[in-house]
Every structure is written in C-alpha cells, then in structure tokens.
Amino acid sequence: MTGRTTGPGIAQEPRPDQDDDLRGSAAAQRYLAELRALGVQTLFVNAGTDFAPLVEAYAQGGSAIERYPVPVLAGHENVAAGMAHGAYLMTGQPQAVMFHVSVGTANAVCAVINAARERVPMIVTAGRTPILEDGALGARDTAIHWAQEMYDQAGMVREVVKWDYELRNAGQVEAVLRRAVSIASAHPRGPVYLTLPREVLAETAPETDAADPAPPLVVPTGPAADPAAVQILADRLAQARYPVIVTTSAGADQQTVAMLSELCERYAVGVAEAGPRYLNVSADHPFHLGLPTEAFPDADVLLFLECDVPWIARRGEPRTDAFVAQAGLDPLTSGYPMRTHRFDLGITTSAASLLTALEGALADRTEQIPPTRADMLAGRAEDHRQRLQATLPRQGRGPITKAALTQALSEVLDDDAVVFNEYWADPRILRRRRPGTYFYLPAAGGLGWALPAALGAKHAAPDRTVVAAVGDGAYLFANPAACHHASAKHGLPVLTIIANNERWDAVDASTRSVYPGGIAVRMDESRLSNLAPQPAFARYAEASGGFGEEVTDIDQLRPALRRALHAVDVEGRQALLDVRCAR
C-alpha cells in the first residue's frame, strides 16, 4: 500500500475507520489499525498475558489484517527495542514496540534510554495489569495480575521519554495514538510511553463516521537558524585563519552529509569528528582533520554542530582565545543534568537549516576567506592521514588487534554495507563513505545495542549487508540466544563479529585513567573485568542454523571474513566470527 507523506518523517496510509470490517470492533483492533494508518509498518513485541486482546485482534483480522502492523516477536525486550531502533535508522519512520506490563518495561529500560539519547521516535507501549479484579472482559484471572501492578509503572521511564499516558477508554484510541506519534516525531525527536490496560483493549470501541475522517497528522517542522546568528557565525568562519566544524551526530539527518562536505570544501573549512555516532562526512574528505583534539592547538574558530560532549578537558580543549559556537536542536544538551562547555554563540537549529543558511551567507563572503587556507587545511588533513597510517599493523603479521580487525573489515565490505559498531571498529580506519552506513553505540552506552539494532536494520532493509561489530562483553549483554533466535525466526542474516579479548576493556581503561600509577595498574587487577573463560561463541550462531567460526590467526582473518559474508549474502543465513584479539 502506498503511503502519503503529511509531515516530516510520517508516511500515513488510508485510515482504517473507512473499512466496514473495523466498525464497532474491539479497541485492540482499532489500536493496531491506527498504528498502521500512522505509518507504523512493524510492531516489535515481547508478549505476555496482557496481549490477549491483541492476539484475538490479529486472529479476527479478516480483510483488515493488511492494515495492521506486521508483528515481529523477539525473545527478550532489549532485542525487540533494539530492533525498532535499527529499523528507524534505516527508514526514518517512527517505530513501535510493545512489552509485557511492568516487568517487560523494566527489561527494556536500557534500550529506551538509548533511544532517548539518540532522539529515536519510538512508540513504546506496554500492557498494564488489569485494573479490575472482576466483572469485565479482560479483568484479572491469574494471581500474577496482583503482583505485577505498580503504583506508577510509567515512572520507570518518565525521565527519558517525551510523554507518557495510559489509555483509559476504547474511544480514545485514535486520539491517543495520534498524539503519541506526533510528540515522538516532533524535534527533538524521542520515545514516548503508553500503557494499555487489558480491559480497555478488550472493550468495544464506538463506531466512527466514515464520512467524517480525521485530518492528516502534521508534525511541526524543526527550528530554523536565527538569521542574525548566522551572519555572525559566517563572518567568523570566513575571516578565520583555521576554522573547524566539529560534529558528533549531524549525520543523523543523512541529507546533511553532502551539505557539510560541500560547504567545508567550497569555503575551506576543516572538519573533525568528536566520537562520531553516525557517518557525518566521508572519510575521504580533503579537509578531514580526524579528532578535534588534533585541531585544538591551532583552531581560532570552532563550530560544534550536534555535539553533546564537544570536548573532554583532560584530553584537550579549545584555546582560550578561540571563538566557540555550539549549534543543534538542543545546543545546551538540556537532558544532561550537568554540561557546562563554554561558547560565545549558541544557535538552536536543525543541522540542515544551519548548513543551508551558512551556505548562502558564506557565498557572500568569499573575498574574506584567506587564499592560502585551503592548501593549509589540505596539508593538515594529509598529516593526519599519514599519522593514522603509521599506527596500522602490517597485513598478515603480529597478533590480531582491534585496529587490524577494523582494517581487514574495511577491505572486505562494499560501500553499501551497514555497520553497527559497539566499541571496537575505529571509524577513521573503517573509512565508510556513504550516508547511513555507519552507526555507533548510543551516547548513554547501554550495552547490548548493536546486534539487535542490526537485526532491525536487516528487517527494514533486507537487501543490504548488515554487520554488528561487538566486543565480547557487549555481545553477552545483547542476550545472544534471543538475537540468534530472532535472526533465524524472521530470516534476518546479519554478520556478527566479536572482538574477543576476554575482558571488559572499558573497566580497565577507566581504572588506568583515574589511577595511572595505582596498584591496580601495576598488578593488572582484573577481577572486575576478566570474562575468561568464554563460551564457544561460534556455536551460538550454529545452534540457530548459522555459520560460526573462531579466528585466532591473523593470516586467516580476511579469508574468514569473506567466508562469513558469503554465508550472509549468498547462502542467506546468519554468521558469527569469534575473533580472538590481543588485549
């Protein structure tokens, strides 16, 4: 069915209340049909006793069943929510998930935090244990319904969602869902939370008048850059000796990748990436300076565009005399309780709006741009590439390091492949070039994200090669049995590559950072980070019908990667490489 776009990010379909099969139907049927009408193609679920009205609705669907979201079952809530996250990254459309009452929500909180920090418009729904103890269809009928009720179920996620509500009457279904989708989709986007009591889902919804359809859902546009602020910023960028645009997440809006690249090249502005979580600019950009800390000693004008943490003082910060601008949908990053990085100019704007406005303003200032600036920036970018190249291992020699693994992966992937990176794949070495082909662990660091997200991406884009690059600790967090089960059940062949050093590196690195000369470092204290002995991870994939292989020899790394990609792309089955890496 062809959708119709009625607002940013929303492709609606014909409303279900025009179909006689849904007149006077149960609220559960109207709920499913309204989700689909609002552009939600898939409902990722982990079900429980509260789902009975939905099970019946799917069974009774009749000719209306094509107007319901396709249900995708996952064996754990974190997997379901992670799949929804990955599907959004592929489609740009709001996604919906549903969990089992309070306990299901509790299992999914980590994934909801990830979605909140990355501004993912996710409609997070959960059953609510039946309100009534007796006397209505859907009332309590098992002892667990008393124990699972909470005084404030939504309180578990209220701090990180944009809106929460409880469906109170069958007649509210359409209005409540329309508000949920519109709030989730409005900038800055993010998840919302809706609880669904079982009795309400089982109620008969009032009939609607097909001659009086609801108006199309329209989502407010994002904020535009203030014209006066743009002029100030353009003056600074044009006249600077060493201007740099630093970004972390501008590429979340994929149209900005070409915009940023062209603006920097046309007007001789350097570009650097601070912990990039998206592909923000091609790795081959002639003025790509690498890490912002490499530019800080010389940069006299810095624009931090969609950078939630623009710098970490102990690792390097802008010069005190540098002009610093911060811009984005929320330049203060107001969702973070403390974040006090200085700035001389702040602009609330979408990245696309600012880059469009800057393009026009800089076009009027080309005569102000120092004529030698482009050559200087190109030289600095080449210096960065040479320094990075010098750190890479020689092919086929030495232990398997994370850098060696990343380099090998970059050589075997095609340009259209999508990589979900949970820690080890250095984007400077991976060198992705196309928008939407690289995603990093969300800012909140909720582990177990990459593999579920890769599965959701594969579901939304079945013709793409999808890779989950995870560490051994992150893989364990992902509920791997549930992930491989979902891959086999729904026909989602993704490649999982585990950089396995039998440790939680983040724990050790944090200890070295805080106590560089401490006893723990001298003694190699590892009781809180050592994960040995590890299971035979390759068998996890094999148990679900996939290809699995353990790699211990660097000479076998590239052949193993090609065998695994063949299993995924040609044989159509999931694959896992357990790569035993040096610490």
Give the tens place of pLDDT for each residue, 313-322.
999 999 999 9
Place of tokens 């000693």: 297
Residue 71 tokens, joined: 């249900």
- C-alpha 451/C-alpha 471 separation (Å) is 11
* pLDDT of res. 61: 82
pLDDT at 547 over 50: yes
Q: Where are the alpha helices (DSSP H) in 240-370?
A: 255-266, 292-295, 351-363
- C-alpha 291/C-alpha 316 separation (Å) is 11
* pLDDT of res. 561: 98
* pLDDT of res. 393: 78
Residue 466 tokens, joined: 């999808």
Confidence class for position 581, pLDDT limits 50, 70, 90: very high
DSSP track, 194-262: EEEEHHHHHSBPPP--TTSPPPPP-PPPPPPPPHHHHHHHHHHHHH-SSEEEEESSGGGSTHHHHHHHH
DSSP helix/strand/coil, 152: coil
Other Cβ atoms closer than 10 A to 47: 18
Confidence class for position 3, pLDDT limits 50, 70, 90: very low
Q: Whole-structure pTM over 0.85, yes or no?
A: yes
- C-alpha 303/C-alpha 292 separation (Å) is 11
Among 310, 311, 50, residue whose Cα is nearest residue 195: 50
Confidence class for position 18, pLDDT limits 50, 70, 90: very low
Cα 43 to chain centroid, rounded: 17
Domains observed in the chain:
4-202 (3.40.50.970), 227-387 (3.40.50.1220), 392-580 (3.40.50.970)
**pLDDT: which is higher, 485 or 394:** 485
Q: Are the CB atoms for 41 and 93 separated by under 8 Å?
A: yes
Q: Which amino acid is at 74?
A: A
- The continuous run of DSSP H or E covering 272 comes out as strand 270-273
* pLDDT of res. 215: 77
275: left (phi over 0), alpha (psi -120 to 50) or beta: left
- The continuous run of DSSP H or E covering 33 comes out as helix 27-37
pLDDT at 323 over 60: yes
DSSP track, 84-142: HHHHHHHH-S-EEEEE-HHHHHHHHHHHHHHHHHTT--EEEEEEE--S-SSSSTT---S
Give per-residue pLDDT as tens, 212-237: 667 788 899 999 999 999 999 999 99
pLDDT at 20 over 60: no
Q: Are the CB atoms for 458 and 466 separated by under 8 Å?
A: yes
Beta bridge partners of 195: 126, 166
The mean pLDDT of the chain is 93
* pLDDT of res. 583: 76
* pLDDT of res. 9: 53
* pLDDT of res. 6: 39
* pLDDT of res. 216: 82
Distances (CA, A) of 267 to 204, 225, 261, 384, 547: 62, 19, 10, 20, 49
- C-alpha 170/C-alpha 163 separation (Å) is 20
- C-alpha 433/C-alpha 440 separation (Å) is 15
Confidence class for position 211, pLDDT limits 50, 70, 90: low
Virtual CA dihedral for 173, 87, 446, 551, nearest 10 degrees?
Answer: 150
Summarize the confidence of residues 259-274 as an average pLDDT. 98
Confidence class for position 206, pLDDT limits 50, 70, 90: confident
**pLDDT: which is higher, 384 or 530:** 384
Confidence class for position 579, pLDDT limits 50, 70, 90: very high
Q: Residue 136, class by beta-carbon neighbours within 10 Å (0-12 exposed, 13-18 middle, 19+ buried)? A: middle
Give per-residue pLDDT as tens, 391-425: 887 766 678 999 999 999 999 999 999 999 998 99
Summarize the confidence of residues 91-99 as an average pLDDT. 97
Task: Please enumerate in sequence order all residues whose Cβ is within 8 A of that of 382, keeping only pairs 6 or more positions apart, or say none.
Answer: none
Task: Please enumerate in sequence order all residues whose Cβ is within 8 A of that of 379, keeping only pairs 6 or more positions apart, or say none.
Answer: none
Q: Residue 56, class by beta-carbon neighbours within 10 Å (0-12 exposed, 13-18 middle, 19+ buried)? A: middle
Confidence class for position 4, pLDDT limits 50, 70, 90: very low
DSSP helix/strand/coil, 3: coil
Dihedral angle sign, alpha carbons of residues 228, 234, 240, 242 = positive
Q: Are the CB atoms for 74 and 45 separated by under 8 Å?
A: yes
